[in-house]
Chain A
Amino acid sequence: MSAAGARAGGGARRTELVSYAGLRADGRRPHETRSIRTRLGFLRTADGSVLFELGQTRILAAVFGPCESARRSEQQHDRAHLHVDVSMTPFALPERRKHRVGDRRLAEIGLAVRRSLPQAVMSHLYPRSEVRLHLQILTSDGGDLAACVTAATLAVMDAGVAMTDFVVGCTAAVVDGRVLMDPTQAEASAATAVIHLAVLPRSRRVVLCQVASRIAADELRDAVGAASDGAVGVFGVVKAAVHDHAVKRLSKRGLLTA
């Protein structure tokens, strides 16, 4: 209904992202994130894994390690080396296309994860070892970077690697001076600016802030604030998921009988 309304009301502008009723094409309000689903321990073969869904965006994250580095050249004597690679399925985008490993967009996501995750991973506890993190974007509908950061945190946590806190990603888009939280691909491509944020939710410390276009200073402040709020919201959901998973695993081992 809201989608129809948006289209009907958009006589003057073809891309009316927020309807007169204040709703977006998928029925969300501007400051609402999409629904999140997580399945921790999704893969049997990995040490830690998660299937993370943010609306239509689906990320599969798998962690192997900590183990002895496969490549000695990457070994660091005082901490673990975090190896990240990001791939995308051919069916991830509306148009079927094979994505090369060296895809610039994927490399950028990998770099963002590599930069933000060590802020919370206690890698000094695993000297000379390696943590291999594989992220696969199964389907993409905006917010890939933020979803990858959150999924990476969950998978690393599932592998039992020590972390000081969660690292949670959230995206915000600025459209006509208005901030839309967690934009879909359609909203992001119509926006004047998109802000990617990674936050340590307990301290609200921003560990990654990425903006690819020009943006007014006050708009940036609003957008960062909104994305930070969004990240705290996401934190609430993923925290519950990790807790439930831990309870399930512990009671399976008979450690929660009391």
Chain B
Amino acid sequence: MASSAAAAASAKAAAAPLSVVLPGDILGSTSELQPGPGSYADVDAGCVRASRAGRFEPLDLAALHEADAAVAAAGAGASGADDDGDADEDAAEAAGGAAGGASAAAGDADAVEGTTRALPLAIVEPPAGRSTTAVPAEGDVVMARVRSVGDRQAELVVLVIGETGRALRAPLRGVVRREDIRATDIDRVVMLQSVRPGDVVRAKVLSLGDRRSLFLSTAEPSLGVVWAKSRAGHVMVPAAHDSMRCPVTGEDERRKVARYGF
């Protein structure tokens, strides 16, 4: 283990082999690497270290930006020289991994901001491949089920953070206030003509709210009800921006419909 870490540290960042690192392992010096997801800068020792167990891969962002087209070409035809082709594919793969893990590990990368020099980014891909944080931030899109609807606000239970994130282990409460239901004509919003208990709503986090619940908003075309059952108990289909139709009875019901997925 020590040998693999030492190898990773001594090897040139761009050509480092795939290696498994452990928290505290040295990935490289701060002059040749900047900390990314799963790593941190040890300022005292002047090196970048891993902060979780996983696969270490340096991602050369500058080279990636420059050779965007070249990477695509290398992916399409493997006619290039062996070494170059492999390196490019690895870089492309790392880019995919970085995009996937970006939201999960955004917190880890806080040290990256500010340093805009084009040093390769150290990324440690976690073995479990799951999100490491499950706390929403302002601006996140969440999926929530409506629990109750009042005159002034609707209470929701957040089911998932992000579009396809993993389900929350512990339910998270949120509210949508009447003025946050839609963007226009907000004085004439009628709560029960916008959302109803049991609906699934796509909403955005306005603020982390008070101690009890998040403040959510549906005041965008892509936000609002995405799934609802009619009075007769059938899943409805969107009919207009403000109504959904029951496919069985043909009856229309008023909702603040999200223009999402169609």
Contacts and interface: CB of A to CB of B under 8 A. Distances in A.
A122 B55 contact: no
Interface stretch (A82-90, A157-165, A187-195, A220-228): A157-165
A247 interface: yes
B51 A253 contact: no
A126 interface: yes
Interface residues on chain A, size class: 35 or more
A240 B1 contact: yes
Interface residues of B, number: 37
Contacts of B129: 253
Contacts of A96: none
Interface in A27-77: 64-68, 70, 72
B108 A255 contact: no
Contacts of A245: 53, 127
A44 to B, nearest CB: 12
B127 A249 contact: yes
A163 B23 contact: yes
A129 interface: yes
Given A125-B108, A128-B208, A164-B23, A239 B1 contact: yes
Contact of B170 (A68, A127, A160, A202): A68
Nearest to A129: B135
Contacts of A72: 211-212
A166 B50 CA distance: 11
Interface of B: 1, 17-18, 20, 22-24, 38, 40, 42, 49, 51-55, 90, 107-108, 110, 125-130, 132-135, 168-170, 172, 208, 211-212
6 contacts: A72-B212, A128-B135, A162-B52, A163-B52, A166-B22, A249-B128
Interface of A: 64-68, 70, 72, 120, 122, 125-129, 157, 160-166, 202, 239-240, 242-243, 245-247, 249-250, 253, 255-256, 258
